[in-house]
Structure 1
């Protein structure tokens, strides 16, 4: 059966001085912690989730969330996460279904609790099977965000 590679592009948003979410993350993280964005590439298209909902564009073009870097500067890592048996048309139909799912509308995006990494995790499982996993650095980044957010909220409540 015909299979197609599924890759994850991991962006280092610390390198982008105009990143729209940097200020939000820096309220939670320290200046020296890496801010990551992930997207999934399959059948010649790159898919991601952000403040505008699920987006699609050609890989290696500067996505709109990376404002002052070119692709080579912004992407810190590209990793093969699996193979899919879905055709390009089947993937496009799957993406349209996700775009219409209430969970993946733009208004549901939250940089900490419902972000690009949550989308990437679901998408690779739909494409490659439930055993597909994101690189550990993505899971660790999200875990770190949640841990820091809890302590940030606690500090805010105690001091105000």
Structure 2
């Protein structure tokens, strides 16, 4: 929460009267993820279903006097977490229909490796949007893993595996991906 407040103070002077910045801060700890969400799309916890981790009280984006709150969420073995920008949730097909986020995320999350999950999700979104996005798209997929190195108490400790993709629309050229 302190970081979000500090960031808000820091950028306010650089923003115009109608400008704002959404931000989602995530800290991974054994068995949980700690989130501070200021106006950003809620991440999805993917287990038996894709569940949006919507904060109990929403905060305004940075630059609009946010009231950041800490949200602690269990993230267990076998669950994944998808952080994404609205370029994914607002991707539209030729008829203007938005990307069916929950259904497609579950479909993509069935892949055994994070890279394959994101590749599948990106392919589904690209097909839905007809090959081009109107907005930037960032995808980050995480999952907890039990590691073999011993922690302080001589027991295995948890870590988090992360894979990301960033897509930037190119005027007249569709998308250009980097990972």
Asked which structure has the greater CA Rg, the reply is 2
- Which of the pair is proportionally richer in helix? 1
Q: Which has the higher contact order (CA 8 A, sep 6+)?
A: 1
TM-score (norm 2): 0.29
TM-score (norm 1): 0.32
- Which of the pair is proportionally richer in strand? 2
